[in-house]
Structure 1
């Protein structure tokens, strides 16, 4: 079984204009980084013209579908029927997208098949991580 899952979805970019623009996005979960989820936007969907990827906790995404969650760079909250809002805060400004909650739930269910909640610590390779940290120290 693969330890990486990806799911394409459509995100509706919320702008100051009254119309919402739909942009492609990809949710990614890797069992080798069991606490994190990544959401990537292709170059065509960003102001910089380069792919942008945000990493945040799987727990934040899970909680944020049902109640407001997050205090830092990424915030998640429910919005109406079958919508979840993700806010990405950066020095350049805030990007806000709406995604279908049902798609996020499907993605999270698939991630649980790779690493169940509460078992993440069993998938960490701490020896490797410490060696990587110390590699440049010597």
Structure 2
């Protein structure tokens, strides 16, 4: 069974111009970090020209399909029948993208098959992590 899920999605960048620019992005999920998802944008799609990744909770992404969620750097909300809006807030500015809600749902279903929602804690090896912290402290 795989431990990582990667799903390409088409993101539409919301800008001042009337037509939204389409950019590729990838949603990632790793069983070893069971509470988090990551969305990555390739270098050509970013202001800096380097790949940019945003990590946020899987729960935030799922809840954002149903209603506005988030108060920090990442916010998610539904937009119409078939779109989900993700806002990424940074000191340099805010990026707002639309993705197909169906793509997000398929991604979340795949993550749920790998690690069911609510059972993420079973993936954590707290004894190992604590031993690593203690080793580094010595």
The normalised TM-score by structure 2 is 0.96
Cα-Cα RMSD: 1.1
- Distance in 2 separating the partners of 1:40 and 1:133: 29
SS of equivalent residue, structure 1 residue 112:
helix
| Counterpart in the other structure of 2:102 | 102
Equivalent residue, structure 2, for 1:54: 54
**How many residues in Structure 1 have an aligned counterpart in Structure 2?**
138
Where does structure 1 lack aligned partners over 5 or more consecutive residues?
none
SS of 1:107 mapped into structure 2: helix
Q: CA-to-partner distance for each residue in 1:9-43, whole Å, 9 max, x for gaps?
A: 10000111111000000000001110000000000
Residue in 2 aligned with 1:5? 5
**TM-score normalised by structure 1 residue count:** 0.96
Gaps of 5+ in 2: none
- Measured in 2, the distance between the counterparts of 1:37 and 1:79 equals 21
Q: Cα deviation per residue 1:33-91 (whole Å; 9 max; x = unaligned)?
A: 10000000000110011100000000000000110000000000000121000000001
Worse-superposed segment, 91-100 or 120-129: 120-129
> Structure 1 stretches (4+) deviating beyond 6 angstroms?
none
